[in-house]
Amino acid sequence: MSFLKKAADIVPGLGKFTYDNDAGKIFITSGTGVIGYRVAISLLEAGHKDIRVGIFEGDRQGMNDGFGRKIAEQLEEKGAEVIEFNWAQESDYATALEGVKTVFCTLPHIEGWADMFPTFLKTSKAKKIEHFVKVSFLRPTHAFKGVAEIARMYRENVPFVSFHGTCDDILQQAKTDSRISYTILCTSHLMATPLLAQGKTLREEKKFVTASYGMGVNYVSPNDVAKAAVVVLTNQKPHRNKVYNLTGPGPTKDSEIAELLSQKYGTPIEHIQLGYHDYAKNVKSRGLPKWQVRDSASMERMKAHGLDEHKTSYTTDLQEITGQQPESFDDYLSSTQFMRPGLQFP
């Protein structure tokens, strides 16, 4: 290790002089996540074999039996090192980060998350992580003022978004007392969310339940987010200490999604439009915990404001990173080659 590298652990901010563009060993926190899986596969297929992937073997809502095992086997066949990683087990952090230079972090929607990320970041500092790429929700930046205003409203009204914002604040400060530089990829609503959050309802009842009051929603494809992540992971220097807001091609109504799902899966999917309180009761009836009901209902309430109907709700960050236009919802549903193994939808 060079003298400057050692000094970077002592002198805040010196990391900008010791940084190099080699990603080194990359740890992906969730190989079963819609984005983490795509990033892992893409990196491996591009020839970056020094990949460690965390797999959580616990229960995941809407997943088939053996889901994690199937993904682990596929990733290992392509050359990844797969380990069990549980956010709720602090003892897993140091093991996962041993010998790692770059982290790609997606946070699960689980109880007790407020304590997990600060502890994981602290461990990342101790393990001398040099670059940390995190996926988040929309975040205010100096560019795209319309998106910045929407991001502030979500942070004030949705606990899940507020939590992500706090984690992002902490991560952005990491460069002052560690080697860590960051890239934060903030997204609008993921196109995968309707399938994941309502998978059982879609399969068994053939219904898609929303409370967006017919407003268009800014849905972005996990495929596009993964493409952007691969770019910033493999060519880090231009993206160090930057925040990007990744948005979709334009507003999509939930009724249109129901029509697309009906076409793709060959069975009629009924769109059920509820008011906020009835929607919250519906989510609660699915057996979800109170905190998750609160987050889901809060997201729907924000959708109903119609904020995503305006052109100022969209950025060009995705195009600038990947050089490609955002994928449509129809294209996303058709891109089955990128989907994780073992999931069954209608």
pLDDT of residue 286: 86
Residue where the block lists tokens 């891109």 = 335
pLDDT of residue 344: 56
| pLDDT for the residue 126 | 96
For the entire predicted model, the pTM comes to: 0.92
pLDDT at res. 208? 95
pLDDT at site 243: 97
Weakly modelled stretches of the chain, pLDDT under 50: 59-64
pLDDT of residue 8: 57
List the alpha helices (DSSP H) in the chain: 3-8, 15-18, 34-45, 67-77, 91-97, 113-126, 145-157, 159-173, 193-197, 199-204, 222-234, 254-265, 276-285, 290-303, 317-322, 329-334
pLDDT at 343: 56
